[in-house]
Every structure is written in C-alpha cells, then in structure tokens.
Amino acid sequence: MPSSVRKRQIVNPHMQTLETALAQVYGWASNTSMRAALQVVVTDKAKRLMFDEVTYCRVAATSPGELHSVAEEIALGETSFFREPEQFRALWKMVLPALIEKHAHDRKLKLWSAGCSTGEEPFSLGMILEDLLGEENDWKIEIFSVDLRSKALLQASQGRYHPLQLRNLDPALRERFFSGKFAPDAPPSDLDRRVRRNVKFRHANLYDAHLWQHLPGQFDVIVCSNVLTHMHATAIQQTVQRLHQAMAPGGYLLVGSAEKSLVAHTRLRAPQTLPPGFFQREGDR
Ligand SMILES: C[S@@+](CC[C@H](N)C(=O)[O-])C[C@H]1O[C@@H](n2cnc3c(N)ncnc32)[C@H](O)[C@@H]1O
C-alpha cells in the first residue's frame, strides 16, 4: 500500500462514518476529490466548534442539520446557461416544439430541473419556452426546480447573474432577457420577470422518498444533469426508477451526455434522432 494512502487511513479512519452517512442520506458516492473536500470541511468545522475531528465526524454523521451543512459545503455546483449546447438546441428545435403541439388543447407544460444549482439550467428552459410561445401567450408553464443547497437556491431565486456567469450565453439572448449592458466589469444583471415567473424553486433532497411522494404531478421534461454521476450504484438505480415514475407517458428525461450509460431502465429508450443524454418514457399502452 502506498505510504500516502496508509497515512490517510491511519490519520482519518473517522471520516468513513461521515462518508457512510452522506451515502445513506444523499446517495453520494465517495471518491478522492470528495474525500479531499470533506477533509477540508471537517477540519474547519471541528476547529470552529472546538471539537476534535473524531468527535465532529460522529456528531455530523448523526445530526441531520450538521450533516446537511457538510453536504451544502462539499456538493459540486458547477453549472452554466445552455450547458450542453447540442442538447439545448435539440430541446429548442425538436423536443419542446413537439410537446407544445401535443399540448395545444390544454396549453400546459410541466418541466423539472432536478439538481438546479444556481438556476442557470431551469432559466435556460424558461428562455426557450418564452421564445417558442411568445410574450403574450396564455400557457401554464411550470418549471419545478430542486436543489439541496440553500445558498445556490438563494441566488437562483434572485435571478441575478454576474458577467462571468453570462459570458457563454448567446449575446442575442443576453440582450433580450437580461438587464443592463454586458461588459466583464459590469454590475450583475437581472433576468427578465417573464422568464422568472414560471420557475419555482424548492429546497429538497433528491434521495429522500418524501420528495417523490409529494411531487406536483408528472413532468413532460425532466432535466437531471450532472447529478447521477455523483451517486453510488444503489442511489442511481433508485433515482432512475423514480425519475421514470415522475415522467408523463411520452415525456423526456435529459441527463449529461457523459451520464447516459447510468440510465438503465426497460421503459426508457434513447431516441435516435436526439443527442446523447435524452431518454423518452414509453407511452402507456
Ligand atoms: C454539478 S451541479 C449540476 C447543475 C445542473 N444540473 C447542470 O447540469 O448544470 C449538481 C447539483 O445537484 C445538486 N445535488 C446533488 N445531490 C443532490 C441531492 N441528493 N438532492 C438535491 N440536490 C442535489 C448539487 O447541490 C448541485 O447544485
């Protein structure tokens, strides 16, 4: 065994308790970078609370509030508007126009951004729908958006973004949907109320059965991108099962293109006309 590994095991055997709690409560898999982040958080929090690290890990593993504060610190929140452009183009040009046609009679669409981070993902969906339906539409659009990190949800609910967060956004969309003039040193820009009004944020844990038992109906599109990749095998299987249940018949699931192999379900098929990462629920027979 390399001495670095031996040293880590001898110094930090108590971290295992905390990793197990995070796996059970949030469905997270442990890996080297997660362990490194966890170590930094444990050292910092133990010092602030004047605990030794062993005691802190025991307390955090058994106290839901403290475990949540650890999860909040170590969860990776990387995101951006229109993160995988090919996927969003397919949503814009194929998936959403087809759903709009399908729902022309009831004029309702329900979408879910599961693991929405600071809001760029649900707001990208909102901008596409605003573009497709036009300003004066009478559609009922719901973009349900869930994350476990309160700080991320606070920024998301404000709909205010720094130039750095807008740098890859199409200038025409920036101009159309954000306040102010874009420049790298400009103050943060506010997203148009027309896009924000359809997006509802909820603080919840995707690995908690309670959330799935109380969903606001079935969804035409669920985007669960770059979330499954951080989960362990049991959590992935259960989450994919639950996502399938939450989709309307004929509805779509979108995961990161690198996560497509994690979605294994007999009643979810990957449409050949759409980019990698899309799955469609079979219609009810
Ligand atoms: C890497 S970000 C991806 C954000 C966005 N979906 C995207 O692809 O750009 C993953 C997000 O999922 C959230 N997340 C991870 N596990 C979660 C869980 N069990 N419940 C709720 N949110 C979770 C994290 O807090 C983070 O904001």
For ligand 1, say whether the CB of 121 is within 6 Å of any of its atoms: yes
Q: Give, for ligand 1, the residue of 22, 118, 125, 148 to mutate: max count of ligand atoms closer than 8 Å to Cβ.
A: 148
Judge whether 66 and 57 are in contact, CB under 8 Å.
Answer: no
At 16-55, the pLDDT tens digits run: 999 999 999 999 999 999 999 999 999 999 999 999 999 9
CA 93 vs. chain centroid, Å, equals: 23
Taking the centre of ligand 1 as the mean of its atom positions, its distance from the CA of residue 73, in whole angstroms, is 12
For ligand 1, say whether the CB of 227 is within 6 Å of any of its atoms: yes
The minimum-distance atom of ligand 1 relative to the CA of 231 is: 16
- Start-to-end CA distance of the chain, whole Å, equals 56
Taking the centre of ligand 1 as the mean of its atom positions, its distance from the CA of residue 115, in whole angstroms, is 4
Q: Is the confidence at residue 283, as pLDDT, over 80?
A: no
Q: Where are the domains of the chain?
A: 3-74, 85-281
pLDDT, position 98: 97
Percent over 70 (pLDDT), the chain: 95
Amino acid type, 117: S
Between CA 285 and CA 282 the distance in angstroms is 9
Q: Which CATH number applies to 85-281?
A: 3.40.50.150
pLDDT, position 228: 98
Taking the centre of ligand 1 as the mean of its atom positions, its distance from the CA of residue 117, in whole angstroms, is 6
The minimum-distance atom of ligand 1 relative to the CA of 118 is: 27
Question: If you average pLDDT over residues 260-285, what whole number do you get?
Answer: 91
Judge whether 240 and 52 are in contact, CB under 8 Å.
Answer: no
Question: If you average pLDDT over residues 86-115, what whole number do you get?
Answer: 97
- Confidence grade of residue 223 (pLDDT, cut at 50, 70, 90): very high
For ligand 1, say whether the CB of 77 is within 6 Å of any of its atoms: yes
Q: Is the confidence at residue 3, as pLDDT, over 60?
A: no
The minimum-distance atom of ligand 1 relative to the CA of 79 is: 9
Judge whether 141 and 132 are in contact, CB under 8 Å.
Answer: no
For ligand 1, say whether the CB of 277 is within 6 Å of any of its atoms: no
Q: Give, for ligand 1, the residue of 117, 118, 150, 168 to mutate: max count of ligand atoms closer than 8 Å to Cβ.
A: 117
Nearest Cα to 139, choosing from 112, 113, 111, 172?
111
Q: Is the pTM of this model over 0.85?
A: yes
At 45-87, the pLDDT tens digits run: 999 999 999 999 999 999 999 999 999 999 999 999 999 999 9
Q: Average pLDDT of the chain?
A: 93
**3-17, 36-50, 108-122, 228-242: which range is least confident on average?**
3-17
For ligand 1, say whether the CB of 115 is within 6 Å of any of its atoms: yes
The minimum-distance atom of ligand 1 relative to the CA of 224 is: 6
pLDDT, position 284: 56
For ligand 1, say whether the CB of 284 is within 6 Å of any of its atoms: no
pLDDT, position 9: 46
